């Protein structure tokens, strides 16, 4: 395990670029590192918090009075189409590296920032593809009991932006096996590049945000009908886009301090410079209130509010 450091700024480790310091902080590259870090924290009766790529978290302005265990290192191997990857592995890097070896199928996930562990916890997805479509097994550690368990896909309880691990945050995802498919390396590389370009074209990339701040809620039938008529598209699973609700409720472009509900994607709450976590939370509260008033729908946060 690397040295445990004190008062480490967390903002640069998050895509929001917001938040205070970690009282204690350590980079980990293996299960052994994680176990040592937990032991260290337990001996001192200090809480610990897991951080991956930092692309779906909001760190409070006052920082975290805890040991932040930061999963780092791109450690993976692919054999016969099965990718075995450490949870800290960067998702885009894995997609690109597997393509070079002639394995793919998951190119629509290219450009989703963050780690494979983070992607599994939130069942990350884009353009109709989700990480669950590729998961064979997830290995996770229960820090209280020390148990390491292999979860097959069905046991992960995946659904839209949801998994067993989101409901049971005490489990730490260590690694995963993913089923990939034989692909032409050049074609796979091209598909991944096209996906990233499409994301850039849609202004989904390179913004100081945490991606979609709220999940797309299941909406009452009449709201679904209005959405479908207005947009000319079918709702998936009775859900309507949170961005559409936010825009229709008049909150597109709403600001609090340095935080704005994006003009391109109102469900992206963006740090347009100097935003604090308090700004983001106040803006989120205002949006929730307006959406609730207009539609009687409660928006739930997709981004994890660390505390």
Alpha-helical (H) ranges within the chain are: 31-43, 91-100, 116-121, 164-167, 185-201, 221-231, 242-248, 277-295
Site map for ligand FAD, 155-194, x if CB under 6 A? ----------x------xx---------------------
- Residue ranges of E strands in the chain: 5-9, 21-28, 48-51, 57-58, 64-71, 76-79, 82-86, 103-104, 125-126, 129-130, 135-141, 148-152, 172-179, 181-182, 255-256, 259-261, 269-271, 304-305
Query: For residue 11, what is the DSSP state?
Result: G
Strands 259-261 and 269-271: antiparallel
Taking CB under 6 A as the criterion, the residue among 8, 18, 28, 56 binding ligand FAD is 56
Catalytic residue chosen out of the listed positions 107, 130, 290, 302: 302
204 is an interface residue for ligand FAD by CB under 6 A: yes
Between CA 245 and CA 248 the distance in angstroms is 5
To the query of whether residue 212 is one of the catalytic residues in this protein, the response is: yes
To the query of whether residue 161 is one of the catalytic residues in this protein, the response is: yes
Taking CB under 6 A as the criterion, the residue among 18, 95, 121, 260 binding ligand FAD is 121
Name the segment binding ligand FAD (CB under 6 A); options: 58-66, 72-80, 100-108, 206-214: 206-214
52 is an interface residue for ligand FAD by CB under 6 A: yes
89 is an interface residue for ligand FAD by CB under 6 A: no
Q: Nearest-CA neighbor of 178 among 247, 79, 93?
A: 79
To the query of whether residue 302 is one of the catalytic residues in this protein, the response is: yes
Catalytic residue chosen out of the listed positions 55, 161, 163, 235: 161
Say how many residues touch ligand FAD, by CB under 6 A.
33
Binding site for ligand FAD (CB under 6 A): 15, 50-57, 71, 87, 112-115, 117-119, 121-122, 124-126, 165, 172-173, 204-205, 207, 209-211, 304
């Amino acid at each position: 395990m690397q040295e445990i450091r004190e008062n480490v700024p967390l903002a640069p480790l998050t895509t929001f670029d917001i938040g205070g310091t970690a009282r204690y902080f350590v980079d980990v590259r293996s299960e052994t590192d994680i176990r040592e870090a937990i032991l260290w924290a337990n001996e001192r009766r200090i809480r610990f918090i897991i951080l991956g790529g930092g692309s779906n978290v909001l760190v409070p302005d006052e920082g975290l009075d805890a040991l932040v265990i930061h999963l780092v290192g791109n450690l993976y191997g692919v054999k016969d189409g099965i990718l075995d990857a450490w949870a800290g592995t960067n998702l885009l890097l894995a997609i690109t590296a597997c393509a070079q070896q002639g394995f793919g199928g998951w190119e629509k996930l290219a450009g989703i920032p963050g780690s494979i562990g983070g992607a599994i916890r939130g069942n990350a997805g884009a353009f109709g593809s989700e990480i669950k479509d590729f998961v064979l097994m997830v290995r996770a550690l229960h820090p209280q009991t020390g148990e390491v368990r292999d979860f097959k896909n069905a046991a992960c309880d995946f659904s839209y932006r949801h998994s067993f691990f989101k409901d049971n945050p005490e489990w730490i995802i260590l690694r995963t096996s993913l089923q990939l498919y034989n692909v032409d390396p050049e074609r796979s590389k091209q598909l991944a590049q096209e996906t990233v370009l499409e994301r850039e074209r849609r202004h989904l990339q390179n913004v100081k945000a945490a991606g979609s701040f709220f999940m797309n809620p299941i909406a009452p039938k009449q709201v679904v009908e209005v959405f479908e008529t207005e947009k000319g598209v079918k709702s998936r699973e009775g859900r309507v886009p949170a961005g559409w609700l936010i825009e229709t409720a008049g909150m597109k472009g709403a600001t609090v301090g340095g935080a704005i509900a994006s003009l391109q994607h109102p469900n992206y709450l963006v740090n347009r410079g100097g935003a604090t976590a308090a700004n983001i939370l106040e803006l989120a509260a205002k949006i929730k209130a307006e959406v609730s008033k207009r539609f009687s729908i409660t928006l739930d946060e997709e981004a994890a509010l660390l505390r």
